[in-house]
Structure 1
Amino acid sequence: MTGLSGRLGVLAAAALLVSHGAASAALPEAVRAMIDAAIATGDEGKVRTVAELARVANPADVAEIDAMLAEFETAVAARKQAEAEAKLAKIRSAGLFDNWSGKGEFGAFRATGNSSNTGITTGLAVSRKGIAWRHNLTGRVDYQRANGVTTREQFLARYEPNVKISDRFYAYALAQYERDRFQGFSGRYAISGGIGYQALKKDDVQLALKVGPAYRVTDFVDGRVESRIAGLIGVDFDWSITDRLKLTQDTNAVAEAGGSAIAIIDSRNTTLDLITGLNATISSKLTARFSYAIEYDSNPPPGAVQTDTLTRVTLVYDF
């Protein structure tokens, strides 16, 4: 009896091993092919979705499915790291004229305030992004001439470098030149430096604030010159409403890349530039833009009014 019991125990163990082996059969070829096809697309979301469905349909093969997913994720992580290292190496070795990008803008404007007319507007902005540094150059011209008389002539040039301090904070510097004889000054120069803070940093919404002291010199058309210590407050806002429609408030953008809000405040005269706009993407390189700008001086020269408005309709080309 003891020998019979031993033989029966061996047979039961063998049956259990056979049963376990059947439960641990290799992943079906059709399922493996489906996962491999998803991996071939390189789409991480698609691969994870297919793997999850495969786990539900093949609970006995979860370990093998997880191994395939882990292998894919390891390869993706290695590729991303290699791309990031290559990008950093390219930035470090870039020359002075490398890694610049920009936007060119052309269209029409309608002005009210110190002048009431319609004319052409053009703008250019270029930027260069490094590992910690970013350089932004902006230029804008509004011009109108009728019956041999110039009725609108406004120029703006701005250079703003900034350097990242942390993930949220950065330090900025600003040098700006303006000319608008119809507002009463032949030249207005401002320099500033201070701290910026990235309050929102999401894929569809971004908000940055900056503040710092400023120094401004104004050459008036009547020959007077004023120099004053001031303060600067800036707001940059971007909201991607859809893939093709964006509301933007960005002080570094080309000539009303959407909207901007900058205030320079001193004891005698506060200047506020508030620009709101809407960008509609036409193609990967071309954007249609509508913007509305308010330019306010609390203490304008004699004969000038405090508030000017500018409505612009333009096309913007990225390069």
Structure 2
Amino acid sequence: MNSVTCLSMAGLTAVTFLWSTPALAELPEPVRAMLDAAIATGDESKVRTVAEIARTTNPTDGQEIDAILAIFEAEVAARRQAEAAEKEAKIRSASLFENWAGKGEFGAFRATGNSSNTGITAGLTMNRQGIDWRHNLTGRVDYQRANGVTTREQFLGRYEPNVNISDRFYAYALAQYERDRFQGFSGRYAISGGIGYQALKKDDIQLSLKAGPAYRITEFVDGRSESRIAGLVGIDFDWSITDRLKLTQDTNAVAETGGSAVAIIDSRNTTLDLITGLNATISSKLSARFSYAIEYDSNPPPGAVQTDTLSRVTLIYDF
């Protein structure tokens, strides 16, 4: 017997009880009308509040009120289960190009480190949520040009699919491209794969951790090229402080090992990208975001400094 059948039987039992117990006093018409009006709204909290008031003001009719409430709750549960089943069926039958959602971001930045300037920033994030699989696409551009000279030109592209192994664990893959001539490289490519863990999974707070081996190729502006084995560690933290305010913390660290265990301790180049952001909802589709990023290279190319910082103020549109 499935859960929908059980819920329907629960509602039927409540109706049978309501009509087959002659000892119950008849619920006054104004009270019944008040309950019917609350039920018509479909608002569960409102229905329970009205039912509690009715039970308090009409203590002798408590059983009848409970029976009416049981019918309503059974109908709500059955409707929710039907909606969830319909949603799952649509996800399973969708093609690869369907069920994508995204965010477009545009604003200004202030940079310090290898360049000190103010410019424009734009970003695009796309994600597709399946039953077991998730796909995430990210692109970002920071650009500034003054007096005919480009003083900031940073590009980032990332694709990360992952699949659930259990309720908490998942496997991930990652392909990433970066370009920043002012940090000393014309192209940096990384691929990685490993295991992730959803440490916190609540409505208002989420924390996930991931780690795995990686392989990275760096093409420097002076024409040199390096290929190295690496290890990746990632942290993703989101906290909805209120309905309109959300704190995010994203950290990705990549340590190039040089191929031996000793080199992991004394790595040739460790990079760290740490981004802290605060999102404020303006409307259902629009939000404002302030973020502060630290980009660290332990062994930058000659003439470059180790640490860059980037402050961004942007508007985000959900679609």
Deviations 1:163-211 (A, max 9, x none): 1122211111100000001101111011111111111111211111111
Q: What is the alpha-carbon distance in structure 2 between the residues aligned to residue 28 and residue 150 of structure 1?
A: 78
Q: What is the alpha-carbon distance in structure 1 between the residues aligned to residue 190 and residue 177 of structure 2?
A: 7
Q: Is the 8 A contact 2:173 2:191 kept in 1?
A: yes
Q: What is the alpha-carbon distance in structure 1 between the residues aligned to residue 61 and residue 314 of structure 2?
A: 59
Q: Is the 8 A contact 1:23 1:60 kept in 2?
A: no
Counterpart of 1:123? 123
Structure 2 residue identity aligned to 1:264: V
Counterpart of 2:111? 111
Q: Is the 8 A contact 2:180 2:187 kept in 1?
A: yes
SS of 2:301's equivalent?
Answer: coil
Shift of 1:62: 2.0
Q: What is the alpha-carbon distance in structure 2 between the residues aligned to residue 58 and residue 199 of structure 1?
A: 47
Greater mean alpha carbon deviation, residues 164-173 or residues 178-187: 164-173
Shift of 1:60: 2.2
Shift of 1:224: 1.4
Q: What is the alpha-carbon distance in structure 2 between the residues aligned to residue 58 and residue 67 of structure 1?
A: 14
Structure 2 residues not aligned, in runs of 5+ = 1-20, 257-266
Counterpart of 1:171? 171
Counterpart of 1:234? 234
Shift of 1:272: 0.3
SS of 2:272's equivalent?
Answer: strand
The runs of 4+ residues in structure 1 deviating greater than 6 Å are none
Counterpart of 1:208? 208
Structure 1 144/70 Cα, relative in aligned 2: closer, same or farther at 3 Å?
same
Please give the TM-score of this superposition, normalised by the length of structure 1.
Answer: 0.88
Q: Is the 8 A contact 2:24 2:64 kept in 1?
A: no
Q: What is the alpha-carbon distance in structure 1 between the residues aligned to residue 233 and residue 42 of structure 2?
A: 45
Counterpart of 1:3? none
Counterpart of 1:262? 252
Counterpart of 1:155? 155
Q: What is the alpha-carbon distance in structure 1 between the residues aligned to residue 106 and residue 252 of structure 2?
A: 23
SS of 2:222's equivalent?
Answer: coil
Shift of 1:23: 6.5
Q: What is the alpha-carbon distance in structure 2 between the residues aligned to residue 38 and residue 227 of structure 1?
A: 66
Shift of 1:32: 1.3
1:1-319 to 2 correspondences below 5 Å: 24-249=24-249, 260-266=250-256, 267-319=267-319
Q: Is the 8 A contact 1:126 1:137 kept in 2?
A: yes
Q: What is the alpha-carbon distance in structure 1 between the residues aligned to residue 182 and residue 209 of structure 2?
A: 31
RMSD of aligned alpha carbons:
1.4
Structure 1 residue identity aligned to 2:119: G
Bigger Rg over Cα = 1
Structure 1 residues not aligned, in runs of 5+ = 1-20, 250-259
Q: Is the 8 A contact 1:286 1:318 kept in 2?
A: yes
Shift of 1:89: 1.1
Determine what percentage of the aligned residue pairs are the same residue: 83
